[in-house]
Structure 1
Amino acid sequence: MAERVLIVEDEILVALEIEQIVQDAGLDVIAIAADRTEALAAASRCDIALVDLNLRDGPTGPGIGMELARRHHVRVIYVTANPAQIGPASNVAIGCVTKPFDAQCISAALKLAVAKDFHPEDIAVSGFTPFPAAPGAWRGAESRR
């Protein structure tokens, strides 16, 4: 069964580009959400979430990521032009893809998200920053597999 991915992005063209990259990586996109309400409505159906920080309802991305990870055991990857805005929410995420991104960067982040073992040194792609706290942050997701 392919991993199920939620894309939390309010710019539809960016969301569609990410959707194509996710599908090309062999994963299933279960929803595109433009705000907190839509993202949390899809939370129980996803394994991985690609989350922008600034959405239709404001700078809610970090809070969404924290809730997805802590309450729903979703593996979170932030996708943003403003990585400094992530703050403490980085503790629950695998890493951050910096906008503008390319397909290789998103693919590398997804590869890490589906890996059984977390080895950030194995992923060296410009534009992707793995977070050191990630191993403890997403191991609970294995219970959903």
Structure 2
Amino acid sequence: MTARILIIEDEFLVALDMQVGLEDAGYEVIGVGDDWKSAMRLAERAPTIALVDINLCDGATGPSIGAWLGKEIGCTVIFVTANPRQIDVPIPGALGVMIKPADSRQVVEAVDFALAARDGGPTPTPPAGLTLLSH
């Protein structure tokens, strides 16, 4: 079974670039949302990995969305943001932070890494551009 990827990003072109890159790499993107409400609706599709921006169209709700997805849905969260300092507390299910702009290759490598970490086996070195969060 392929990983099911959820993208929560309010910048259309950024979200589209991530979606196309992931689909080209063989991943299933189950949806793209831009706020808390759309994240909750799309989470019903059981994502494996969520790529979540911090500052969305309804404010700085990304950390709350990520915590909810990690705790309630059980998916692994990678934050994708231009301001990683906004993640200042441990967030359940959050693996790391990618700094925008991130090209589609970096996004795919981060998802590959997240899946390896999620499987519980030995994980490779984190890819360039992904900073792991300490829990």
Q: Partner residue of 2:54?
A: 53
Q: Could you list the per-position Cα deviations for residues 38-75 of structure 1 after superposition, in whole angstroms to 9, with x for gaps in the alignment? A: 00111131111000000010000000000000011011
- Paired residues for 1:43-122 under 5 Å: 43-45=43-45, 46-115=47-116, 116-117=119-120, 122=125
Give yes or no for contact 2:96–2:131 (8 Å, CA) kept in 1.
yes
Aligned match of 2:29: 29
Higher relative helix content: 1
The answer for the alignment partner of 2:11 in structure 1 is: 11
Q: With structure 2 as the length reference, what TM-score do the two structures score?
A: 0.89
> 1:132 and 2:95 equivalent?
no
Task: Give the letter for the 1:47 counterpart.
Answer: T
Query: How far did residue 104 of structure 1 move?
Result: 2.6
Q: Measure the CA separation in 2 of the matches of 1:90 and 1:121.
A: 22
- The number of equivalent residue pairs is 132
Question: Residues of 1 paired with 2:55 and 2:90: CA distance?
Answer: 14
Distance 1:35 1:89, change over 3 A: farther
**C-alpha RMSD of the superposition:** 1.6
SS for the counterpart of 1:122 is coil
1:88, CA displacement in angstroms? 1.5
The separation in 2 between residues aligned to 1:3 and 1:48, in whole angstroms, is 7
Aligned to 1:84, what secondary structure does the other structure show?
A: helix
**TM-score normalised according to structure 1 size:** 0.83
Q: How high is the sequence identity, in percent, across the aligned residues?
A: 41
Q: Cα gap change, 1:12/1:44 in structure 2, threshold over 3 Å: closer, same or farther?
A: same
- In structure 1, give the amino acid aligned to 2:94: A
